[in-house]
């Protein structure tokens, strides 16, 4: 793993800042900027589900065929590491980063991520990251399921109109309403607001504003000075 020295912290206690929220709420940009500012490693858990989805599509496995998909996953070599303090996933030695936002991946990722065994495999990888490093991890269930014990939980939201505008501005086609519905209504680890998460509505805030608010909370909680 290529990480800055500042991340090689106390091996006994690795802190996790959990950032959850719906699609296009701004959480990736916020989590990325926050991690940089506080010197933690950044983990994009959505990219892990996207990578598995892409891999299945490459192997002509229908995301609806959960048995075939699980078989594929259990026979694949999944390496999760860091590059420049950002999480990276390689499946059978291939880094699919440039394909993760293709339309076909957007369309199928919620189906793949609703399969409990897929979640089990990827959540184990997410937790393994925290064995070695302090993390800012973003996703849907980081505060509720992956690291429920962390005291540093945030839920970033934005109005549906703003979220749609953000995707369009990124030049991406993404059925965010359909994905949100699927992610919130699935049985396995749905997107929920953890009881103890601090909610930030980013509709009228810049990335810097949201990062600033999170840092203020982390200071109040004594995590950073």
In the complex, the residues that contact ligand C5P under the rule CB under 6 A are: 23, 45-46, 49-50, 109-110, 113, 139-142, 179, 183
- Assess contact for 89 and 45: CB atoms under 8 A: no
- Assess contact for 142 and 196: CB atoms under 8 A: no
**Cβ burial 124-153 (10 Å sphere, 16+ → b, else e):** ebbeebbebbbbbbbbbbbbbbbbeebebb
Find, among 175, 199, 215, 164, the residue nearest to 21 by Cα. 199
> Which is nearer to ligand C5P, 29 or 224 (by Cβ)?
29
Report strand pairing: 198-201 vs 152-157.
parallel
φ, ψ for residue 56, nearest 5 deg: -60, -45
Residue 199 token pair: 């909610």
CA-CA distance, 55 to 94, in Å (whole number)? 9
CA-CA distance, 104 to 83, in Å (whole number)? 26
> Which is nearer to ligand C5P, 45 or 85 (by Cβ)?
45
Helix, coil or strand: residue 49: helix
> Which is nearer to ligand C5P, 96 or 139 (by Cβ)?
139
Q: How far is the CB of 222 from ligand C5P (least distance, A)?
A: 27
Residue 109 token pair: 């990722």
> Which is nearer to ligand C5P, 49 or 54 (by Cβ)?
49
> Which is nearer to ligand C5P, 184 or 206 (by Cβ)?
184
Q: How far is the CB of 179 from ligand C5P (least distance, A)?
A: 4
Q: How far is the CB of 113 from ligand C5P (least distance, A)?
A: 3
The residue whose two tokens read 């504003």 is: 209
Q: How far is the CB of 119 from ligand C5P (least distance, A)?
A: 7
> Which is nearer to ligand C5P, 55 or 140 (by Cβ)?
140
Q: How far is the CB of 152 from ligand C5P (least distance, A)?
A: 16
Q: How far is the CB of 196 from ligand C5P (least distance, A)?
A: 18
């Amino acid at each position: 793993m290529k990480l800055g020295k500042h991340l090689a912290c106390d091996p006994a206690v690795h802190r996790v800042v959990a950032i959850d929220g719906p699609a296009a709420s701004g959480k990736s940009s916020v989590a990325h900027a926050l991690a940089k500012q506080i010197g933690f490693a950044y983990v994009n858990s959505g990219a892990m589900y996207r990578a598995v989805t892409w891999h299945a599509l490459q192997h002509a496995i229908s995301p609806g065929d959960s048995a075939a998909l699980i078989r594929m996953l259990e026979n694949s070599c999944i390496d999760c590491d860091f590059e420049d303090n950002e999480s990276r996933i390689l499946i059978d030695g291939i880094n699919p980063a440039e394909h993760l936002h293709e339309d076909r991946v957007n369309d199928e990722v919620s189906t793949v991520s609703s399969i409990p065994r897929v979640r089990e495999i990827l959540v184990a990888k997410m937790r393994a990251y925290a064995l070695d490093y302090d993390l800012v991890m973003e996703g849907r269930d980081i505060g509720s399921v992956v690291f429920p014990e962390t005291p540093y939980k945030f839920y970033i939201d934005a109005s549906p109109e703003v979220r749609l505008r953000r995707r369009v501005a990124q030049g991406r086609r993404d059925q965010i309403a359909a994905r949100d519905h699927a992610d919130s209504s699935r049985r396995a680890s749905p997107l929920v607001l953890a009881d103890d998460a601090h909610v930030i509505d980013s509709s009228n805030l810049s990335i810097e504003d949201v990062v600033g608010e999170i840092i203020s909370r982390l200071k109040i909680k004594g995590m950073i000075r």
